Amino acid sequence: MTDRNSEIQDEPIARFQRLLAEAQTIPSDKLPEPTAFSLGTVDAGGNPSVRIVLLKGVDERGFVFYTNYESRKGRELLASGRAALCFHWQLLEVQVRVEGSVGSVRDEDADAYFASRARGSQIGAWASIQSRPIEHTGDLEARVAQVERRFEGQSVTRPPHWSGFLVIPDRIEFWKGMPSRLHVRDVYLRDGDGWKTQRLYP
């Protein structure tokens, strides 16, 4: 529990992992998707956009999620090299904001994660040209049927356009709700091999 006048706790990845673990103990009827976060990207004209994705890994290297590299978000992440993440766990009265540069996960890690997904999701990853307009009603279903035929009797390999992004954080902010809106905001800014900390006015 954050106290207003407590020192900023150790390092931010461990702090994030502890909070996520706490969120994951909340019953699913109260918090169905503890790993869900808002992912902000920006296009070449500086226009931001945001959508929800699921966190699939976090360690000292950064935050991992999976998607279609040719989707709107995928193209924007590749072009700008930057991402913003926002987690909100209402029952903990916690918000975590992450900003950083974007890298890719290793092919073998993406293959392993893809192999762990349900077959329907694997088929969908091939069939969905994510973020593109559907020209005719039934096109998606037809593409699903086509992929099912292609992989009939065999395991579904990972599509080349589907993989994980690694967000390498250079700023992480922990927000903890407090009475009278005097919330605590602890910011960690990457500083060489370590982190510089600041506490912000709420």
Ligand X SMILES: Cc1cc2nc3c(=O)[nH]c(=O)nc-3n(C[C@H](O)[C@H](O)[C@H](O)COP(=O)(O)O)c2cc1C
Residue positions annotated with a catalytic role: 181
How far apart CA 143 and CA 124 sit, in angstroms, is 9
H or E element: which one contains 195?
A: strand 194-200
Chain-centroid distance, C-alpha 30: 21
Give yes or no for residue 54 binding ligand X (CB under 6 A).
yes
Give yes or no for residue 31 binding ligand X (CB under 6 A).
no
Nearer to ligand X by Cβ, of 51 and 171: the residue is 51
Restricted to residues 106-145, the positions that interact with ligand X (CB under 6 A) are 130-131
Q: Determine which residue in the list 51, 88, 171, 183 makes contact with ligand X, applying CB under 6 A.
A: 51
How far apart CA 178 and CA 93 sit, in angstroms, is 8
The least CB distance from residue 1 to ligand X, in Å, is 28
Nearer to ligand X by Cβ, of 131 and 197: the residue is 131
Contacts 24+ apart (CB under 8 A), 13-21: 13/58, 13/59, 13/60, 15/174, 16/58, 16/96, 16/172, 16/174, 17/58, 19/89, 19/92, 19/94, 19/96, 19/174, 20/55, 20/58, 20/87
The least CB distance from residue 73 to ligand X, in Å, is 4
β-pair partners for 39: 51, 85
Give yes or no for residue 73 binding ligand X (CB under 6 A).
yes
Give yes or no for residue 91 binding ligand X (CB under 6 A).
no
Nearer to ligand X by Cβ, of 1 and 118: the residue is 118
Give yes or no for residue 38 binding ligand X (CB under 6 A).
no
Binding site for ligand X (CB under 6 A): 33, 36, 49, 51-54, 65-68, 71-73, 130-131
